[in-house]
Amino acid sequence: MAQARSNRPLSPHLQIWRWGPAMLVSILHRVTGNGMAFAGLGLLLWWVGAIAGGAECYATFISYVWSGDAGALSAVTAILGKILLVGLTWAFFQHMATGLRHFVLDVGAGYELEANARWSSFTILFSVAATALFWAFVLLH
Amino acid sequence: MGNGTSIGRVRGLGASHHGTHHWLLQRLTAVGNLILIPFLLVSLALLPAHDYATVHQWVAKPIPATALVLIFINTFTHARMGVQVMLEDYIHEEGGKVAAWLLVNIVPFAAMAFGIISVIRIALGGA
């Protein structure tokens, strides 16, 4: 790496570019995907493992993730749990929309600057609206 | 070592004939998730309550149990590949690469096994 500290120009990174919708949703796709891979699948495993473990295990899961009725620690983690659940549903809808955008880009469509920016912005509108609708349904159901 | 032919010099060194496999499997599992995860979200949203008895009874039914087993296979395969690409982009030291290689080749399969065993236990009784 003798070249590393020379005065040769470095390849530009995030701070160089002017932010645009395509760049934002590309980054969001990676962030939401990896977030779901660790936090989402971790929570899903805990959930299904708690059901398999029996009523007491499931009650512990609910206390720490949702209701917060198992002491001070669970009261704190239950707030985080609700934020996590809403965050994960948003992450899913965002990742799904940008994933569908990838399918369109994979067939070679949607690269025109204006269409690309429009559909990129639309994925964010979709994910926020779908998350709001989903939780409105769950809480009012 | 002789110079050989150009194909002889690269054979066995890279992704020849398998280059699209990773990319294609990522798309295939994406299509699977596109069906399986909305099924899970809608089913959970439609449950009348989320107490132990209701949730246990739902998971134990054949279609939800099948869907959950497929979800564990599909999501962990998809997530494993996505995390692998992310790690390949950001980890450049040899030690880190070994750690990343262990992470993406062990954890998802262990997690997948735990999830599937849990669903089987719920579906076939025992708890």
pLDDT in tens, B53-79: 999 999 999 999 999 999 999 999 999
Residue of B2 and B122 predicted with greater confidence = B122
In this prediction, residue B85 carries a pLDDT of: 95
For chain A, 141 residues long, give each residue's pLDDT as a single digit of tens.
Answer: 444 567 777 777 767 778 899 999 999 999 999 999 999 999 999 999 999 999 999 999 999 999 999 999 999 999 999 999 999 999 999 999 999 999 999 999 999 999 999 999 999 999 999 999 999 999 998
pLDDT in tens, B20-39: 889 999 999 999 999 999 99
Domain segments of chain A as ranges: 46-140
Structure tokens at A49: 């493992």
CB pair distance less than 8 Å for A51 and B55 = yes
Evaluate if residue B17 carries a pLDDT over 70.
no
In this prediction, residue A111 carries a pLDDT of: 94
Question: Which pTM was predicted?
Answer: 0.89
Measure in Å the smallest separation between the Cα of B40 and chain A Cα atoms.
Answer: 11
CB-based contact (8 Å) between A89 and chain B? yes
Backbone angles phi, psi at A12, to 5 degrees: -70, 145
CB pair distance less than 8 Å for A49 and B111 = no
Q: Which residue, A40, A28, A47, A41, is CA-closest to A96?
A: A28
CB-based contact (8 Å) between A96 and chain B? yes
Q: How many CB atoms lie within 10 A of CB B39?
A: 15
| Whole-number Å distance between alpha carbons of B121 and A109 | 46
CB pair distance less than 8 Å for B41 and A54 = no
Domains plus CATH for chain B?
21-123 (1.20.1300)
In this prediction, residue A15 carries a pLDDT of: 72
Backbone angles phi, psi at A110, to 5 degrees: 80, 25
Half-sphere exposure of B37 (CA within 13 A, CB side): 23
In this prediction, residue A9 carries a pLDDT of: 72
Phi-psi region of A129 (alpha: psi -120 to 50; beta: other; left: phi over 0): alpha
Chain A residues close to B74, C-beta within 8 Å = none
CB pair distance less than 8 Å for A45 and B119 = no
Give the nearest chain B residue to A44 (CA atoms): B115
ipTM of predicted assembly, 2 dp: 0.88
Q: Which residue, A67, A97, A89, A71, is CA-closest to A79?
A: A67
CB pair distance less than 8 Å for B118 and A33 = no
| Whole-number Å distance between alpha carbons of A102 and B18 | 21
CB pair distance less than 8 Å for A58 and B27 = no
Q: Which residue, A100, A83, A105, A102, is CA-closest to A35?
A: A83
Evaluate if residue B1 carries a pLDDT over 90.
no
In this prediction, residue B125 carries a pLDDT of: 83
CB-based contact (8 Å) between A139 and chain B? no
- Alpha carbon distances (Å) from A27 to A31, A98, A118, A119, A120: 6, 10, 16, 15, 11
- Alpha carbon distances (Å) from B40 to A5, A6, B125: 52, 54, 21
In this prediction, residue A19 carries a pLDDT of: 86
